[in-house]
Amino acid sequence: MSVSPTVGATPGDDLTMAKRRRRLFSLGGWELSLLVLLIIVTTSFGLGVPGFFDNLSGFLAMTSNFLPFGIVALGLSLVIFTGGIDLSVGATASLAAVVAAQLWATMGLNIWVASLLGLAMGGLLGGINAAVIVLLRIEPLIATLATSFIYTSAAVAVAGDSPPSGFPDAFNNMGSGAMAWGSFQFPYQLLIFIPLAVLFWLLVTRSAFGRKLVTVGYNSEAARYSGIRVPRVLAAAYVISGMMAALAGLVLSAYYSAARADMGDVLLLTTIAMVVLGGVSIFGGEGRMGGVIVAVLLLGLLRQGMLIAGFSDMVTSMLTGAILIGSIAIRNIFSTRVGGFGKRLLALIRRPAIAGPDATRHDAP
């Protein structure tokens, strides 16, 4: 997935790279459309669905129901930027949260110290993922699928027959509490998410690491020849993804005031949806952090709004799937890189003979 050896650096790539790099700083067309969609969704729910926007505090409080997904999405984006995937985010979240909770429950550790250890645990699990991928040369998809089985089993074993629950209120507040100024309340989860979102946005757009990350994903061979230490970049991406997953797991256990071995299961698919909807190419090397952040809010608020409007979980899940297919289809049709339907159609009409190799190049990964 990360490497497609047949792809050589063509002269045109330099140009697009430069163009893309400049565009990374701003919001592109895709991100703007997402933002417009977010505003439309929010205002129409706000006007049409009683209970969605009663007051600003209540509206903000709703974000606590989906921001753990956003935290995972931030870390997962880095991995997907490199052209990889981390299927173990859910299992990592569960394991880190369960380990932290058990440290608190059985060893009597301070809950915050235990949380820090849980966070470190997430980093370690991400490091294991990276080691399996880089040292054993196993495809990220298979590697993280395998480790997710291992992490899940470990989480079940650590959780035991009666998983810990009933954490101190100060900790629970991190998941469901809010800072209050008079009658205005600002959820702690947002206080965690906003700085992280800014940090990740800066990391990808303004730092050398971010550029390396995207370059590795765009063409890992080229990155290697241009002196980037690809394994190190990959390792950093997976470690960060693991830590973000662990943080999400901790926030979830604060939200539920309970840690369970299956807690992170729901995270994976929705966060992949958020990252892809945000415009990050699943093949790597393309996309913007801003898009991911908007997609987190869009999918999250859309789901909350639909639930409040009385649609069943079934309908909202189906809609998430449909949006995902729709968004990728639209991107593929207009994408200049991935051999999209629209491009292929054009190629067929113009020069049928050339269309073949071009299409295989992009379908390969």
Partner 1 sequence: MITARRMLVLAAAATLAIASAVSAQTVDTSKRIKVAMVPKLVGLSVFKANQQGAEAAAKTLNIDFLYTGPVTASAQGQVDVFNSLIARKFDVITTTSNNPTQLAPALKRAMKQGIKVVSYDSDVSPDARDFFIQNTEYPAFGKALVDSVAKYIPADSEVAILSSTKDATIQNEWINALTAYMKTAYPKMKIVTTEYGQSDPSKSLTAGLNILQAHPNVAAIIAPDGASEVGAAAAVQKLGRTGKVFVTGCSNPDAIRQYVKAGIIKASPLWDEVKEGQLVMHVARLAANNALKPNDTFSVPGLGDYTVKDKVIIFSEPLIFTAENIDQYKF
Residue 188 interacts with partner 1 (CB under 8 A): yes or no:
no
Cβ-Cβ contacts under 8 Å for 265 (sequence gap 6 or more): 90, 94
Residue 260 CB, shortest distance to partner 1, in Å, is: 6
Name which position in 2, 82, 102, 172 contacts partner 1 (CB under 8 A): 172
Residue 208 interacts with partner 1 (CB under 8 A): yes or no:
no
Name which position in 4, 16, 57, 257 contacts partner 1 (CB under 8 A): 257
Q: Which of residues 64-83 bind partner 1 (CB under 8 A)?
A: 65
Residue 260 interacts with partner 1 (CB under 8 A): yes or no:
yes
Q: Which of residues 19-38 bind partner 1 (CB under 8 A)?
A: none
Hey, is 104 helix, strand or coil?
A: helix
Q: DSSP string spanning 128-195? A: HHHHHHHTS---HHHHHHHHHHHHHHHHHHHH-SS--B---HHHHHHHH-EEEETTEEEEHHHHHHHH
Name which position in 8, 29, 48, 50 contacts partner 1 (CB under 8 A): 50
Residue 57 interacts with partner 1 (CB under 8 A): yes or no:
no
Residue 52 CB, shortest distance to partner 1, in Å, is: 7
Window contacting partner 1 (CB under 8 A); options: 13-21, 76-84, 142-150, 312-320: 312-320
Cβ-Cβ contacts under 8 Å for 8 (sequence gap 6 or more): none
Q: Which of residues 119-158 bind partner 1 (CB under 8 A)?
A: none
Structure tokens at 288: 């913007």
Name which position in 162, 350, 352, 353 contacts partner 1 (CB under 8 A): 162
Task: Quote the CA–CA distance of 346 and 15 in Å, as a whole number.
Answer: 22
* Cβ(279)–Cβ(30) below 8 Å: yes
Rg (CA), the chain: 21
Residue 227 interacts with partner 1 (CB under 8 A): yes or no:
no
| Dihedral (CA of 51, 55, 56, 62) sign | negative
* Cβ(327)–Cβ(277) below 8 Å: yes
Residue 331 CB, shortest distance to partner 1, in Å, is: 27
Residues that bind partner 1 (CB under 8 A): 50-52, 58, 62, 65, 160-163, 165-166, 172, 175-176, 255-258, 260, 262-263, 265-266, 303-304, 307-308, 310, 312-314, 317
